[in-house]
Amino acid sequence: MDIPSSLAIISLAALVHASFQLSVSVLTLLSGHSIGAKHSQARLLRLTSSFLLGAAAMTVLLLSFISLMLIQLYGNITPQVVWAAACGLSVAVAVCIWLFYYRHDKGTALWIPKAIAVYLNDRTKATKRSAEAFGLGLSSVIGELLFIIAPLLISALVLIQLPSVWQLTGIAIYTVISLLSLLIVWVLIGSGHSLGKIQQWRESNKYFLQFVSGAGLIVLVVFVYTVEIVGSSVGFH
Amino acid sequence: MTLSVDVIKRGGQRQSEQFMREKLHTSIVATCLSVRVPTGQAESIAHSVCEAVIAWLQQHPEVTSQDIRIIATKHLRIQHPEAAYLYEQNRITI
């Protein structure tokens, strides 16, 4: 696969990752607790920036870890069966997203293990320092691992085929794009927008976001399957 | 001010506790501040919501924390719909 196509796949996978909402929910709650506790705007920005850095760090770590595991297992040439398995897993995740992503109640509660939701809720309330917010950012990415595993796996499979410099570029592109939704909310909160309006928008559009996440993943799978499996079967490479 | 009302905590997992006006007041003020309501107005809204909840509690010696949240949300909605929305959402965001 050529470099532009690889980077396009990584970008699309990162966009799918960006459409997942757990970190955005945690960021919204964290900001709400911080503003409600009459913390200064500077402290609010410190906390939210640390959260963002935590989420970025965990995304880089996860993507690097999965890539390293794949390199250790298969080297630079991934067997087609692994591509097929990754595509199958991604389709399953996409179907799960369409069926279960949001709980069928009011609000934006997600279909993640209750213990994780309670833990994140409690930690968000207890977070007072930047280091804690950083840790919360790390945990929130882990909390949605069930869903982000699909775009991460496909990106890792694409990344390991690239030359070293482009691998780093790919990781950077994935991280920045996957944080886009968090960055947008961070800018909105930092510029004084009401959390109520942000949360209202998220709730009103939650089923649209759910559909887009699943559909994005399906499009990604179709593209990857066509290039990597169908393409190589007909001698495209 | 402490009324003699038992508040059963969410899910019934923790011990019930006496109703504490201060706790409700603080949570309403915090929610109002979250939607950028000025501090004075937030205090005034919280005061009036607490009064309404206390009036309701006079006829209910045992309630759940969810009941209090529902009644507080109902009265907060009259004062500030956006704050009421966020107050209601607090436990259903994640």
Q: Residue B93: what pLDDT?
A: 81
In angstroms, the CA B35 to CA B56 distance is 26
Instruction: Compute the nearest-CA separation of A19 from chain B (Å).
Output: 15
Which residues of chain B carry a pLDDT beneath 50? none
Q: Judge whether B67 is closer than 8 Å to chain A, CB to CB.
A: no
pLDDT > 90: percent of chain A: 85
Contact A130, A50 (CB under 8 A): yes
Which is more confidently placed, A114 or A67? Answer: A67
What mean pLDDT do residues A34-41 have? 91
Q: Is a pLDDT exceeding 70 seen at residue A237?
A: no
Mean pLDDT of chain A: 93
pLDDT computed for residue A82 by the predictor = 94
Q: Could A195 and B34 be called an inter-chain contact, meaning their C-beta atoms sit closer than 8 Å?
A: yes
Band of residue A2 on the pLDDT scale cut at 50, 70, 90:
confident
Nearest CA in chain A to B33: A36
CA–CA min distance A39, chain B (Å): 10
The one-letter amino acid code at A108 reads T
Give the pLDDT of residue A137. 96
Q: What is the pLDDT of residue A236?
A: 57
What mean pLDDT is predicted for residues A13-31?
A: 95
Using CA atoms, how far apart are residues A199 and A20, in angstroms rounded to an integer?
Answer: 15
Q: Which residue has the tokens 């989420």?
A: A55
Q: pLDDT band at A106, cuts 50/70/90?
A: confident
A185-189: long-range contacts, CB 8 A cutoff, minimum separation 24: A185/A24, A185/A27, A185/A28, A186/A27, A186/A48, A186/A49, A186/A52, A189/A27, A189/A28, A189/A31, A189/A44, A189/A48
Nearest alpha carbon to residue B88 among A200, A44, A31, A121: A200
Q: What is the pLDDT of residue A114?
A: 87
Q: Is residue A230 very low, low, confident or very high in pLDDT (cuts 50, 70, 90)?
A: confident
Q: pLDDT-based confidence at A207, cuts 50/70/90?
A: very high
pLDDT for the residue B13:
67
pLDDT above 70 (res A192): yes
CA distance A222 to chain B (A): 31
Within 8 A by CB and 6+ apart from A196, the residues are B34, B35, B82, B83, B85, B86
Give whole-number Cα distances, A76 to A55, A73, A229, B84, in Å.
28, 9, 16, 55
A27 touches chain B (CB under 8 A): no
Q: Confidence class of residue A76 from pLDDT cuts 50, 70 and 90? A: confident
Among A47-56, A193-202, B73-82, the range scoring the smallest mean pLDDT is A193-202
